[in-house]
Amino acid sequence: MKFFESNAYAESIGSFIKETKNNTSVREVAFPKFLVSFFKEHEKNELDKKEWLGDKWFYGKNHKHEDDFVFTQRNGKAMYVSTPSQWSAEFSEKHDLRKITFHGLRHTNTTILISEGIGYCWHLERLRTCQNFHHNGFLHPCPQV
């Protein structure tokens, strides 16, 4: 999956698509094989919704399938920026899980991978950061994972 734009919100204009925060945010991310079938099924469901809605479907900026959003509202428009976080909080509460933000998952993932011996330099590249993880509180202290 390639990331080259960002969904944002401003009270004065509502939701809008903008360029990423910086050039290092433009990147391609590989998915594990087990997720490929999930995304293919999701794409099939999105195509079914498009067919059902016809000209009421909101296509991406160039009115092409390739410009569509991966996760959408019922009409193809981009989700409201807080929708994933709200869903995650509700899911966590329903299943009695500790609440953690999506950004917090980034820190947790890094902590787990480093505890598994994945190299420090790999994280600098993968997370697109030059921060010193230890001095900026990026890593979480935790018992053996």
Give residue-wise pLDDT tens across range 79-124: 888 888 898 899 999 999 988 887 788 777 777 777 777 766 666 6
Query: Taking every pair of C-alpha atoms in the chain, what is the biggest distance, in angstroms?
Result: 54
CB 82 within 8 A of CB 15: no
Tell me the domain boundaries of the chain: 2-81, 96-145
Please tell me the predicted confidence (pLDDT) of residue 21.
82
What are the tokens at 124?
A: 């600098």
Main-chain dihedrals φ then ψ at residue 2, nearest 5 degrees: -105, 130
Provide the percentage of residues in the chain whose pLDDT is more than 70: 76
State the Cα–Cα distance between residues 20 and 84, nearest whole angstrom: 18
Which of 141, 87, 84, 85 lies closest to 110 in space, CA to CA?
Answer: 141
Q: Between residues 121 and 49, which one has the greater pLDDT?
A: 49
